[in-house]
Amino acid sequence: MTPIRTVTTVCVALTLLATSTGIAAANPDPHREAVQRQVSAAVASGAAGMQVRVTRDGREFTARAGVAQLGTQRPVPLDGRFRVGSITKTFVTVVTLQLTAEGKLGLDEPVSRYLPGLLPDGERITVRNLLQHTSGLHNYTDDLPQDPKEFMARRFEHRSALELVRAAAAKPLLFPVGTKHSYSNTNFLVAQLLIEKLTGRSWTAAVNQRILQPLRLRDTEAPGDNPFIHGPHARGYLMVEGKPADVSALNPSAAGAAGAMISTTADLDRFLRALLAGRLLAPAQQAELTKLTAVSPDYGLGIQPVPTSCGITVWGHGGGIPGYLSIMLGSADGSRRLEGSVTTGTALDPQLMRKTVDTAVCG
């Protein structure tokens, strides 16, 4: 549930942790080989395992490196499932903007209009402020267990979005509403409560009905309190007292609409293609998605631009949740895309991650 500035360095490593899996050695592909070199370097830097999907101008390949489970030789499953962390925010933003197009929600309306009494500053904080991270709301995840041992002991506890928001909102704003950008997961728990209020159903049901079913994303889910990743997947790890501890199973309710979803690179790619092509949003809302401002020059609404060395800007999001880092990025025309997941082992070199994205996009 971390911002892409952090994740772009680490998650981006996702895109490179690739071991060729589809082009014969007799027909070398310089682009793929370059990605492979970066991926191998990222794994050597400390990742337990990695999978990546890269598309450029109609040509696609998948790659992997490392192992699915430490202590074994099992390879990371091709297109295995993983926790996507803050990529969840892009799904939630789409639902929110769809509600805007339907006239059920106003981007520049105060949160208090829909959720009266929830936020002390709800009359000043707008829906746009939430999706843009310019609300000034305290980041609730800063108050969750930070010590690895404590996290391991409490990782199956249920967390209520309403209680988490109330606790965060009780703290002073970090800055006057709309004057700065500061990444806060609390914004998207408020968006979760908005969706549930306006649709009369859970945010997970809304995402399922409006995105997952129409796009046939059968390997994507928002699991609620279910702690398990079903289907093929690589194990995720957290360093506890200097040793990797398996954190694949955890209650994702604490992440909620800020980062609870599970997906695959194939499903994320299908979602990203539809989003970039304007198939999920009306034109007015599509324009709002990527609108940058002086206050928030590096983050639109639930999506972020990432520059590359070849001058191509890719849009998307990164994600981080204990055990997993993820990335989903694509050029505005959709011709260059990458999605990936890395399961953390030890520390990763941030520069290797940056180079991964750059290599995947620019070759």
Which tokens belong to 351? 């520069």
Cβ partners under 8 Å of residue 157, min gap 6? 251, 254
Q: Nearest to residue 359, comparing CAs of 334, 316, 329? A: 329
User: pLDDT by residue (tens digit) across 98-155?
Assistant: 999 999 999 999 999 999 999 999 999 999 999 999 999 999 999 999 899 999 999 9
60: left (phi over 0), alpha (psi -120 to 50) or beta: beta
pLDDT of residue 1: 58
Residue 346 confidence class, pLDDT cut points 50, 70, 90: low
274 or 349, which is more confident? 274
pLDDT at 42: 78
Confidence check: pLDDT of 9 > 50: no
Query: Looking at residues 214-237, what average pLDDT do you find?
Result: 96
Res 21 pLDDT > 60: no
Distance CA 206, CA 197 (A): 11
Residues in the chain, total: 363
**Region for residue 15 given its phi and psi (left: phi exceeds 0; alpha: psi -120 to 50; beta: otherwise):** alpha
Are residues 49 and 234 in contact, defined by beta-carbon separation less than 8 angstroms?
yes
> Does the annotation mark 86 as catalytic?
yes
Q: How confident is the model at residue 215 (pLDDT cuts 50, 70, 90)?
A: very high
User: Which of the following is catalytic: 40, 45, 86, 248?
Assistant: 86
pLDDT confidence bin for 162, thresholds 50/70/90: very high
Span 187-203, average pLDDT: 98
Average pLDDT, stretch 70-78? 94
CATH architecture entry for 4-362: 3-Layer(aba) Sandwich (3.40)
Residue 22 has pLDDT above 80, yes or no: no
Please, are residues 49 and 342 in contact by the beta-carbon 8 Å criterion?
yes
3-class SS shares of the chain: helix, strand, coil, % to 5: 40, 20, 45
Could you give the CA distance from residue 123 to residue 115 in angstroms, rounded to a whole number?
10
- What are the residue ranges spanned by the domains of the chain? 4-362
178-193 residue pLDDT tens: 999 999 999 999 999 9
How does 284-301 read in b/e, with b if 16+ C-beta sit within 10 Å? ebbebbeeeeeebeebbb
- Beta partners for residue 333, in sequence order: none
Give the 3-state secondary structure of residue 99: helix
Choose among 208, 227, 225: nearest CA to 217: 208
**Model confidence, pTM:** 0.92
Range in 40-44, 204-208, 309-313 the model is least confident about? 40-44
Residue 67, Cβ density class (10 Å: 0-12 exposed, 13-18 middle, ≥19 buried):
buried
**Where residue 345 falls among pLDDT bands split at 50, 70, 90?**
low
- Whether the per-residue pLDDT at 14 is higher than 60: the answer is no
Strand partners, 187: none
